[in-house]
Amino acid sequence: MRIGLIYDVFEDYPWRDGEPSDADAEYEPVDTVDALAGAVEALGHRPVRVGTAFDLHARLQEGLDIDAAINISEGARSRNREAYAPILLEMADIPCLGSDALTLSVTLDKAWTKDIVRAAGVPAPVHRVYGGVPDIDPDDVPPFPLFVKPRYEGSSKGIQPSSRVDTLQELRAEVGRQTGTYGQDVIVESFVRGGGEYTVGVIGHDPPEALPVLQRAVETTTGIGLHALEHRGAVEPTEEWQYELAGDLTPELESSLQNLTLRTFDALDCLDFARADVRVDTAGQPWFLEINPLPTFAPDGTFAIAAELMNTPYDDFLADVFDRALRRLQIG
């Protein structure tokens, strides 16, 4: 089969004057596209490198001939941006691996995602949504410390040490910074402390399978995940970050984190692959933070690390992920 690859690499970002330095943080290195192509070839199929959702739109008009597609395209600026490629593929009657447009749009919205998973019984921190500083009601602010991040972004965009706030004055300053810089609402949620930060990958469907849990380092002063402070385009520290591995990843905790992630995956109708971030408090209670059904497949990313822990070559791992998805679509 001819399997189309829909993606945004760093050089594809359509920069505009005045955009933040991390605007392209969700895009991918070419190595990621090479990994996707290698996995498709390992399955005996032919990868067709289409490019961005806008490239897909143009090539469909020209009669693009593909049997299915793997989409990791993020788009830009719109809260519907992750739905561009899946909608075009759906309209063209081309099967697409991974979650559909509705799930991608909902999960990009951090506030709606929290509402849905809480309704499904998944523990998630209390949150508020602010469109600007005037929206902050001092009598309706969750207990400090709090964490502030853009509502419709991923890959830690917008996060820096000031994102964790301990006072009303700091909250106002951070809400003003982020809404002014990113031109969108922010979500403000209780900051979970004490038991560490973890990420959990999921692959497959009916039933989905949770991968080995990965523990993340946290910066010692703020308690923010180190990966969130070191993302592409982040503010450079004046000196090297100090960090620690807070908490203890026991077999019991790993099982609990995996179960929580699978419940979240199901509640949001995710398909084929996703990655969730979870924090644990001082009492050992896990709290869902967010889920990404368009996770990076970079050769040094979460899924590659999980494959290494499973003693599986990365090409073979990705081939298995995509083969399961093709069989779900009944075209494998």
The CATH number given to whatever domain includes residue 205 is: 3.30.470.20
CA distance linking residue 9 with residue 26, whole number of Å: 9
Q: How confident is the model at residue 104, as a pLDDT?
A: 98
Q: Assess if residue 324 is contained within a domain.
A: no
Percent of the chain whose predicted confidence (pLDDT) is above 90: 97
Q: How confident is the model at residue 238, as a pLDDT?
A: 83
Last residue of a domain, one of 168, 190, 212: 190
For the record, the structure tokens of 22 come out as 């991390």
CATH number at residue 157: 3.30.1490
Strands (E), 64-213: 68-71, 96-97, 127-130, 146-150, 164-165, 186-190, 194-204, 208-210
Q: What is the pLDDT of residues 155-211, one digit of tens each?
A: 999 999 999 999 999 999 999 999 999 999 999 999 999 999 999 999 999 899 999
Query: How many Å separate Cα 162 from the centre of its chain?
Result: 21
Q: Assess if residue 329 is contained within a domain.
A: no
Q: How confident is the model at residue 148, as a pLDDT?
A: 98
Give the count of domains, the chain.
3
Q: Assess if residue 181 is contained within a domain.
A: yes
User: Of 202, 331, 222, 332, whose CA–CA distance to 271 is shortest?
Assistant: 202
> Going by DSSP bridges, is the β-strand pair 2-6/46-51 parallel, antiparallel, or unpaired?
parallel
* Same-domain check for residues 283 and 197: yes
* Same-domain check for residues 161 and 244: no
Domain span at residue 138? 126-190
Q: Assess if residue 252 is contained within a domain.
A: yes
Residue 132 has pLDDT above 80, yes or no: yes
CA distance linking residue 179 with residue 295, whole number of Å: 25
Sheet arrangement for strand 127-130: 127-130, 186-190, 146-150, 164-165
Q: How confident is the model at residue 302, as a pLDDT?
A: 95
Q: How confident is the model at residue 331, as a pLDDT?
A: 87
User: Of 225, 274, 285, whose CA–CA distance to 106 is shortest?
Assistant: 274
For the record, the structure tokens of 134 come out as 């005037």
Residue 332 has pLDDT above 80, yes or no: no
Average pLDDT over residues 136-149: 98
* Mean pLDDT taken over the chain: 97
Q: How confident is the model at residue 177, as a pLDDT?
A: 98
* Same-domain check for residues 186 and 197: no
Residue 32 has pLDDT above 80, yes or no: yes
Token pair 């999921």: residue: 202
Residue 5 has pLDDT above 90, yes or no: yes
